[in-house]
A and B are shown apart, each in its own frame.
Chain A
Amino acid sequence: MGKKVAVTGVGITKQSSVRHDVNGVEIINEAVRAALEDADMNRADIDAVVIGNMDHFEGINYVEAWSIDGNGGLMKPTMKVTTGGCTGSTVAMAAYYHVASGLFNKVLAIGWEKNSESDTTGAITTAFDAIWDRPVFAGAVAGLAVEAALYMHETGATEEDAAYVAVRDRKHALNNPFAHLHINLTIKDIMDSPYLSWPVKMGDMCPRTDGACALIFSSEDVVDDFPMPPAWVVAVANRHMYTYTADADFGSIDGPYWMTSLEAASKDIYSRVGISDPLNQFDMAELYLPYSFAGVKWMEALGFTGRGGGPELLRSGATDMGGKCPVNPSGGVLSSNPIGATALLRVADAALQMQARAGARQVPDAKLALCTGFGGCYWSDMLILSKDKP
Chain B
Amino acid sequence: MADWRDEVEPWVLESRIKVPYTWTAGETGSHYLLELKDNKKFWGTRCPQCKRIYHVPKRNCPECFTECTEWVELGPLGTLRDYTIMRKAEPRLHTLPVPFAYGVIFLDGSDTGFLHLLYEYEEADLAEGLRVEPVFAEERTGHILDVKYFRPAKAVS
Give residues in A with beta carbon < 8 Å to B.
Answer: 18-26, 29, 33, 36, 42-43, 56, 58-59, 68-70, 72, 74, 114, 116-119, 122-123, 126, 130-131, 134
Contacts and interface: CB of A to CB of B under 8 A. Distances in A.
A235 B71 CA distance: 48
B20 interface: yes
Contacts of A123: 19
B19 A122 contact: yes
A43 B50 CA distance: 15
Interface in B36-93: 58-60, 62-65
Contacts of B65: 33, 36, 42-43, 72
B8 interface: no
Contacts of A24: 24
Given A56-B19, A59-B19, A126-B19, A114 B62 contact: no
A22 B13 contact: no
Contact of B26 (A23, A43, A74, A130): A23
A119 B64 CA distance: 35
Contacts of A116: 22, 24
Contacts of B157: none
Contacts of A23: 23-26, 29
Contact of A117 (B24, B29, B64): B24
Interface of B: 13, 15, 17-29, 58-60, 62-65
Contacts of B26: 20-23, 26
Given A59-B21, A130-B13, A130-B15, 17 more contacts: A18-B24, A22-B24, A22-B26, A22-B59, A23-B25, A23-B29, A26-B59, A26-B60, A58-B23, A59-B19, A59-B23, A68-B62, A116-B24, A117-B21, A117-B22, A122-B19, A123-B19
Nearest to B19: A122
Contact of B19 (A33, A118, A134): A118
A238 B62 CA distance: 34
A19 B24 contact: yes
Contacts of A130: 13, 15
A118 B59 contact: no
B67 to A, nearest CB: 9
A122 B24 CA distance: 19
Contacts of B21: 58-59, 117-118
Contacts of B15: 130, 134
Contacts of B23: 23, 58-59, 117
Contact of A119 (B19, B25, B29, B59): B19
A51 to B, nearest CB: 14
Contacts of B60: 26, 29, 33, 69-70
A123 B21 CA distance: 10
7 closest pairs, A vs B, by CB? Answer: A23-B26, A69-B62, A43-B65, A122-B19, A22-B26, A74-B62, A26-B26
B26 to A, nearest CB: 4
A118 B63 CA distance: 30
Nearest to A114: B24
A72 B65 CA distance: 8
Contact of A131 (B13, B20, B24, B59): B13
Contacts of A122: 18-20
Contacts of B58: 69
Nearest to B59: A26
Best-surrounded residue of A20, A26, A70, A117 (most CB of chain B within 10 A)? A26
Nearest to A121: B19
A123 to B, nearest CB: 6
Contacts of A36: 65
8 contacts: A23-B24, A26-B28, A26-B60, A33-B60, A59-B21, A70-B60, A74-B62, A134-B15
